[in-house]
Structure 1
């Protein structure tokens, strides 16, 4: 039997830890909500609330769209420091069940967190740009 450590033992331990952590998380669609990448959606009496952490972005860097039943959050930022340009881009989408009242969708952005209120109605589903307060 070989008592030497292999270079992969640390990776094996890390993998086992991650798998244990993931199995302890609630499944999508449970009372804890639905998650898609950075987006987290919770059901309310009026529809849904979608929340995402977008630290380091300005309100003007974020674009929200709703179309074909999908809420899409895009954030694009470019900064220059000492002649070096740094770009960041985030694009996430989450399917919203039901008929969304796109005219009443509201969004706010504070302290790097965007919160989008998505009311559900009996109306149709058309593409719509969502302003951020």
Structure 2
């Protein structure tokens, strides 16, 4: 039976804590789908533009950050309440397997971010080597 890194359980616990913190604070919720040859991560980012979003992947960790800052002009004091002028969301997700960072792609359409992360395939099967 193969055993993972001793830190795998710690990473899972930290992910669960991060998920709970994000949900409690109204943060960025994501879906992570395992499609055999790749992971597909989907996040809803309504009200953001493509240029407001940064996506990075490094060492099995996907980081999504979205920042929206509405420019205000002098004399715009007509507001009784203004809650939408500046927003920032971020989320880091530890992936269960290594991914091909260079092969990652992302698309943003109708307020939905979709990130495709191809898996790095390592063969655990033995390969016969011909002797010459």
- Which structure 2 residues correspond to residues 101-116 of structure 1 after superposition, within 5 A? 101-116=100-115
For normalisation by structure 2, the TM-score amounts to 0.61
Greater CA drift, 77-86 or 52-61 = 77-86
Q: Where in structure 1 do 4 or more consecutive aligned residues deviate above 4 Å?
A: none
Task: Please name the residue that 2:8 is paired with.
Answer: none
Aligned 8 A contact 2:99 2:120 in 1: yes
Q: CA deviation at 1:80?
A: 3.5
Q: CA deviation at 1:81?
A: 5.5
Out of 57, 80, 91, the residue aligned to residue 66 of structure 1 is: 57
Unmatched runs of 5 consecutive residues or more in structure 1:
1-35, 124-133
Unmatched runs of 5 consecutive residues or more in structure 2:
1-18, 23-28, 123-132
For normalisation by structure 1, the TM-score amounts to 0.60
Task: Please name the residue that 1:54 is paired with.
Answer: 45
Aligned 8 A contact 1:73 1:91 in 2: yes
RMSD, aligned CA: 2.4
Task: Please name the residue that 2:67 is paired with.
Answer: 76
The structure where strand makes up a greater share of residues is 1
Q: Secondary structure at the match of 2:117?
A: strand
Q: Give the total of aligned pairs.
A: 90
Task: Please name the residue that 1:92 is paired with.
Answer: 91
